[in-house]
Amino acid sequence: MSNSNLVVYTKLSPNCNKPRNKPITHIVVHHMAANGSIEALGNLFAQRSRQASSNYGIGSDGRIGMYVEECNRSWCSSSGEIDHKAITIEVANDGGSPNWHVSDKAFESLVALCTDICKRNGIPELKYTGDKSGNLHMHKWYAATGCPGPYLGSKFPELARRVNENLKVKPTPKPTPAPKSDFLGPKGYLCRGDKGDNVKKLCDFMYRVFPSYDKVLGRNKKNLLGNEYGPNLEAWIKEFQRRTVAEAKAYGLTEKQYVDGMVGPTSLAILKKYGFKE
């Protein structure tokens, strides 16, 4: 396991675990909450009483320091679990509270350092999702803190995008929403309480194509027939939606958005794949 050759200053801290017990898969970016130099940060982390460290630090001048080698776990994110699998980076602030601004030079060095970390550790893509499901994380997700500050926090999507451009990661295409249909009426969807020929056509289709759903629902499928969108049809549609969640995600919907018992553009588009005709 190597260290970054972008480092211009090294002062190894005693505050770490040797070695880390997990492979490197994440990056956690912090802010210093001060306009500290990489040397000053090194002196701070050299104090055993401080009980803190990071793998790297970046000054407002863009210079990069190292305090804990990548093979070891820093004491930075208030969580041993994340620090054992993450490279931690402290970034200086050239502006104070409440925004905690970061200089352009520091941000450019952060992009370069994150790119280097990903390349050397076989991380194919830096993913910022706004929560822990990605691999670019914030300190405040693990402790009662505002770190990395409003300004740097707002730059996380750009940081991930810039790093991925350097890694030549192809952007994920945005899903195409399902087309609108006159079949769904002026509201744009059919739901419980609706009546009419379109509801009857939907009932007849569900009865004919998915007759086994009544066993799952514990309902009598004969009660489904009619021109009213009642509780049986709603339950039937929900069961269909649960079974086709993966297809709905291709249209950009989450399971929570999709499984609602109503027939909107996405449900209608998927029903058509199973032979439904307006």
Band (174; pLDDT cuts 50, 70, 90): confident
Query: Alpha-carbon distance 186 to 147, whole Å?
Result: 47
pLDDT in tens, 68-106: 999 999 999 999 999 999 999 999 999 999 999 999 999
Percent of the chain surpassing pLDDT 70: 94
Give the rounded distance of the alpha carbon of 58 from its chain centre.
Answer: 25
Q: Are 40 and 148 in contact (CB under 8 A)?
A: no
Domain identity same for 155 and 240: no
Query: Alpha-carbon distance 161 to 181, whole Å?
Result: 36
Q: Are 30 and 92 in contact (CB under 8 A)?
A: no
Asked, as a colleague might, if the bond just before 175 is cis with ω within 30 of 0, I would say: no
Give the mean model confidence (pLDDT) for residues 151-169: 96
Full residue range of the structural domain in which residue 223 is found: 182-273
pLDDT in tens, 19-36: 999 999 999 999 999 999
Choosing from 133, 166, 199, the residue where a domain stops is 166
Query: H helices of 124-210, where?
Result: 150-154, 156-166, 197-209
Domain identity same for 186 and 108: no
CATH of the domain at 197: 1.10.101.10
Band (214; pLDDT cuts 50, 70, 90): low
* Closest among 182, 219, 217, 212 to 197, alpha carbons compared: 182
pLDDT in tens, 218-233: 555 555 667 889 888 8
**pLDDT score at 94:** 97
Domain identity same for 63 and 137: yes
CATH of the domain at 53: 3.40.80.10
Query: Alpha-carbon distance 108 to 177, whole Å?
Result: 36
Question: What is the number of domains present in the chain?
Answer: 2
